[in-house]
Amino acid sequence: MHVITPEQEVTGGAIIFEVIEARVGKITVSGNEHYDQDNIRNALPALVEGVTPSARKLSSNIRLANENPTRQMGVVLAVGEAENTVDAKVNVQDSSPHKFFLTLDNTGNQSTGMYRTGIGYQHNNLFNRDHAATFNYTTSPSHTNNVTQFSVSYRLPIYSLGDSIDLIAAYSDTDAGTTSTVAGPLTFSGKGQVYSAHYNYYLPRQGNYTSKIIAGFDHRAYLNTCSLGAFGAAGCGPSAFDVTIHPVSLTYNGTLTKPAYIFDYAATLVRNLPGGSRGSTADFNNVRPSPIGGAGARADYTILRLNGSLSGVLPENWQYRFAANAQYTADALVSGESFGLVGANTVRGFLEREVSSDKGYVFNAEIYTPELASSLGMQSGSFRLLAFIDHSSGQIVPLAGEIATRTTAGSAGAGFRFAYGNNLVAKFDWARVTQSAGNRTAGSNRGHISLVASW
């Protein structure tokens, strides 16, 4: 858009200015090897020949398009060859939309094996419309018959609106086997089914700040099979009952990106919709009953979840990261909605979710060394050491007959982060427990490993 003063006779002290909105002239696409021109143009509906471009809509298109992990693009507008036009150059960097990956970590337990391995496939351009589908299978390499986990996710960008939809379906089947007890053999297995739909509404960018609102609905079924000696299922108490939850959620997420740091945060309000198969008040009472016969867990519970992180660069290329997660509720919850206080991504040094609560918080602080890859002779990789401190605290919302005791957990340790090109990512953390919780006492140690290989 530019302003000119047309030839005119000035009378009465008034001057007429003419505003001319430039229209798009030529559009050229360059750099794309795996995505064709139709795909690129479909991702930019705000960029049309002969139409004045909207900077806000074009920015929204680019933001959504760049969520594709195998294609990034930018648009440069310059004065066009024709009068009152601008020419657009779309610069693309892409790779194959097909991705296979293998995973390995030690997030298991003694009864089903400490390690988990997975294989997956991802397609990021179904129908040449950037629809993304991911398929994943996970098991225990030492107990393949005891652990089975499948998941499918589907992402649908809606470029005309600047929004997207996420769909997820997952199934898990874990058999903990048989354990000898004084009351007879104890057998336990659990199955889970998850169906989820989330709508992502992207708010207009404000300089370096981006935000979105996410509306979601989940269906999660927890199906248990338990038997204890001659008592059968009755001997297992609440562990033998099934429950299904139907939480609806609303999330606000914001990200502030500056040259020296990135600040990201989110707030989520969750409300469960009671009813349906295994979703009544009686079902919730069976899964978490009062020890003295009063009312059990509420089926119409409400939860507020908060999380945020701050990461940035220090002098001499050192880096830092602070992260916090919290959950608040006034309701006693079933285990599927409890807040995990320990594990590889919370307080390290513990088994996954061996300690949880109805409400609580987790805090992590990390510092990273400068890049060490070049000093190790690595030409196309990244290697950094880190030190960390983790802390968490939580408590249950007591039912009649329960005591609201607070549980705290803490650890400190060191590790590394390694990446080789775009094909291998490795994480390792060695933690020493500083605050006892669950089955871990202060002074005990545990390592956490995670490997992802993709091609």
pLDDT of residue 186: 59
| pLDDT level of residue 236 (50, 70, 90 thresholds) | low
Other Cβ atoms less than 10 A from the Cβ of 206: the count is 10
**pLDDT tens string 418-443:** 999 889 999 999 999 999 998 999 99
Tokens 């080789």 belong to which residue?
Answer: 420
CA–CA dist 420, 409 (Å, integer):
34
pLDDT of residue 18: 54
φ and ψ at 20, to 5 degrees? Answer: -115, 120
Q: Does residue 11 register a pLDDT over 70? A: no
Tokens 């206080």 belong to which residue?
Answer: 341
Name the residue ranges covered by the structural domains of the chain: 2-93, 98-454
Q: Does residue 370 register a pLDDT over 90? A: yes
Mean pLDDT of the chain: 90
**pLDDT tens string 103-115:** 999 999 888 899 9
Q: Does residue 126 register a pLDDT over 90? A: yes
Tokens encoding 23: 């229209």
**pLDDT tens string 29-85:** 999 999 999 999 999 999 998 888 888 899 999 999 999 999 999 999 888 878 888
- Mean pLDDT check: name the lowest of 73-82, 237-246, 247-256: 237-246
pTM for the model: 0.88
pLDDT of residue 20: 61
* Cβ 159 vs Cβ 65: under 8 Å: yes
In percent, the amount of the chain with pLDDT more than 70 equals 89
Tokens encoding 154: 């589907």
In percent, the amount of the chain with pLDDT more than 90 equals 69
C-alpha of 438 from chain center: 26
What number is the average pLDDT over the span 234-251?
83
For 2-93, the fitting CATH number among 3.40.50.150, 3.40.50.740, 3.10.20.310, 3.30.420.10 is 3.10.20.310
- Beta strand segments in 183-260, E: 184-206, 209-228, 243-245, 247-257
Q: Does residue 414 register a pLDDT over 60? A: yes
| pLDDT level of residue 188 (50, 70, 90 thresholds) | low
* Cβ 380 vs Cβ 371: under 8 Å: no
Are 2-93 and 98-454 equal in CATH topology?
Answer: no
| pLDDT level of residue 5 (50, 70, 90 thresholds) | low
Measured CA to CA in angstroms, residue 140 lies from 63, 119, 155 at distances of 38, 12, 28
Among 78-87, 178-187, 315-324, 369-378, the range of highest mean pLDDT? 315-324
| pLDDT level of residue 229 (50, 70, 90 thresholds) | low
Comparison of pLDDT for 379 and 41, the residue scoring more: 41
Tokens encoding 224: 């248990």
| pLDDT level of residue 248 (50, 70, 90 thresholds) | very high
| pLDDT level of residue 140 (50, 70, 90 thresholds) | very high
Q: Does residue 166 register a pLDDT over 80? A: yes
CA–CA dist 91, 93 (Å, integer):
7
pLDDT of residue 79: 86
What number is the average pLDDT over the span 290-298?
87
What number is the average pLDDT over the span 125-134?
96
- DSSP secondary-structure letter at 161? T
pLDDT of residue 17: 58
pLDDT of residue 50: 85
DSSP 316-346: GG-EEEEEEEEEE-SS---GGG-EE--STTS
**pLDDT tens string 262-287:** 999 999 999 999 998 899 999 999 88
pLDDT of residue 185: 61
| pLDDT level of residue 92 (50, 70, 90 thresholds) | very high
What number is the average pLDDT over the span 338-342?
96
Q: Does residue 149 register a pLDDT over 60? A: yes
Instruction: Enter the CATH code of domain 98-454.
Output: 2.40.160.50
pLDDT of residue 233: 63
